[in-house]
Amino acid sequence: MYELGIAHSFNKKTIMITRDDLGSLLFDLKQYRAKDYSTNFKKFYDLITYLENNLKGARDDSVIFNNSVGDFLDHSKIASEEFFKK
């Protein structure tokens, strides 16, 4: 979850997948898009299709990506290079 928080703080597009039940997601992530999967052939095929559609949407901006950090942080006022200044 640490890596997800870092990606969200930089407003990166993320695709959340889990082997757990979607109902067991943390409370602050439940409202965002996530996909459950298993190693069962049918569900794995569904995951591949889901990932293909979302990756295509990330490239052409046809899928809206949002997250719990970006919803509350105004990124237009923070230049990413400011994070790395000494």
pTM: 0.66
Provide the number of structural domains found in the chain: 1
- Domain boundaries, position 32: 2-84
Residues 11, 78: contact at Cβ < 8 Å? no
pLDDT in tens, 41-85: 878 889 999 999 999 999 999 988 887 777 776 656 666 566 555
